[in-house]
Amino acid sequence: MTKRFLTTTAVSAAIAAGLSTPAAADNHATDLTLCWAAWDPANALVELSRDFEEQSGHTMNFEFVPWTSFADRMLNELNSGGQLCDLMIGDSQWIGGGAENGHYVKLNDFFDANSIDMGDFIPATVTGYAEWPKNTPNYYALPAFGDVVGWTYRKDWFERPDLQAEFMDKYGRELGVPNSLEELTEIAQFFQGRDIDGTDVYGAAIYTERGSEGITMGVTNWLYNYGFEYENPEQPYSVDGFVNSEGAVAGLEAYRELYETGTPPGASNWYMGENIDAYRSGQVAMQMNFAFIWPGVEADENVGGGKSGYFPNPAGPAGQFAQLGGQGISVVAYSEKQDAALEYIQWFAQPEVQSRWWELGGYSALSAVVEDPGFASSQPYAQTFLDSMAIVKDFWAEPAYADLLIPMQERMHNYIVAGDGTAQDALDGLVRDWTEVFEDEGKL
């Protein structure tokens, strides 16, 4: 019996024996370390957590790692059984590995003992951030930060009468929020190389980054909406004919067209930070990005204060979907401070804390917060967040997630950015890659 199994089982047994709160087992002050990515929401969490420190007597420390190295650093920490992190806000795709490899404490007994109901959270976030296997009531995290790919646009540019008239003359419709991915590409092409107030601007900043997950998180917003599916719904892990379907090929070709005809020069390895910089500096009319950036956009003196607007990922021929982002918060099984870590989970789940989380710039996944009558009007981007979270899909959350992501990054970048081969070649190759992974995993 491994130490990991003993640790997880001991916590579950203690909760089942009647501990109503983690504090009942750990009344002394504890130093806790929470690990997450280094981004704006992390700063908001530091502010939020001051209330927990005051109420509990515990001290919160934080280990924040840039997104481009977050997965490598934290997955290595988990795989090595490291004790740096007591709490982990891990990416949605890690939940399978976190559960099956014993990295995360299973939380069902704790939730039951403390009246934490997963039915109180946005369903997509429960499935995406907390459950393994998917669509089963087995929970290894509490939904912590709802996020999704959406769009920001220069509303002030779109509303210029001269541009509106020119766009109407060319396309026969108003220059406004696009109703389809095809319309979005046309808008990007319309702005590409245009002079705005003496500056050459471009259509859109999109995800093209190769080294971590960027281009995958971008191209899926096209693939889903053109008919790509991860597997045969009647034969799990069978991907041929679904990953490389006729619709998926068309979606991949369409994303490459946008890259070639509507993005800034040199935008061949861009992800969240590069897109933010391009948009805030006035280089692009639109940017693809996760919703976490929207509070910062509103506060920016160059593009905020009514100059920007927001819209969900538009529909394609096969439907309207958007790539899920966001994370759940888990207790790390190797931590020697699990009782205090569970106390933090219990505190964080409270409705008043979740409401404060939204106010500070965090994206609460608690239904009571997002379904409040005043939520949609609480921020200019709130309704877009709600609309986007209703159409989410996510990448594989398998324990072999990294082995599935690496070939997709390579094949998508080689085709979209480098122009190697055809879209059919890229997706056929991905089918071979993924089939090999699943065969090695014993799932085919």
| pLDDT at res. 163 | 98
Q: Is the pLDDT of residue 365 over 80?
A: yes
Residue 5's pLDDT band (cuts 50, 70, 90)? very low
Six-digit token string for 6: 């003993």
For 149-323, CATH number?
Answer: 3.40.190.10
3-state secondary structure of 353: helix
- pLDDT bracket for residue 13 (50, 70, 90): very low
What would the mean pLDDT of 386-404 be, rounded to a whole number? 96
pLDDT in tens, 141-150: 999 999 999 9
> Is residue 78 classed as helix, strand or coil in its secondary structure?
helix
What pTM does this model have? Answer: 0.92
The CATH fold of domain 3-147+325-393: D-Maltodextrin-Binding Protein; domain 2 (3.40.190)
Q: How does pLDDT run across 175-225, given as a tens digit for each residue?
A: 999 999 999 999 999 999 999 999 999 999 999 999 999 999 999 999 999
- pLDDT (tens digit, 9 = 90+) per residue, 212-266? 999 999 999 999 999 999 999 999 999 999 999 999 999 999 999 999 999 999 9
Task: Count Cβ atoms within 10 A of the Cβ of residue 180 and give its class: 0-12 exposed, 13-18 middle, 19 or more buried.
Answer: middle
Residue 374's contacts (CB-CB under 8 Å, 6 or more residues apart) are none
Same CATH topology for 3-147+325-393 and 149-323: the answer is yes
**What is the rounded CA–CA span in Å between residue 158 and residue 161?**
8
For 143-166, b/e burial (b = at least 16 CB within 10 A) is bbbbbbbbbbbbbebbeeeebeee
The predicted structure's pLDDT at residue 202: 98
As a whole number, mean pLDDT of residues 311-334 equals 98
pLDDT score at 24? 39
Q: What is the pLDDT of residue 27?
A: 55
The answer on pLDDT for 160 being more than 50 is yes
CB of 151 closer than 8 Å to CB of 288: yes
Within 8 A by CB and 6+ apart from 306, the residues are: 155, 156, 380
* pLDDT recorded at residue 15: 35
DSSP run (H or E) holding 163:
helix 161-171
Q: Where are the domains of the chain?
A: 3-147+325-393, 149-323
Lowest mean pLDDT among 19-23, 27-31, 304-308: 19-23
Contact present, 325 and 147 (Cβ < 8 Å): yes
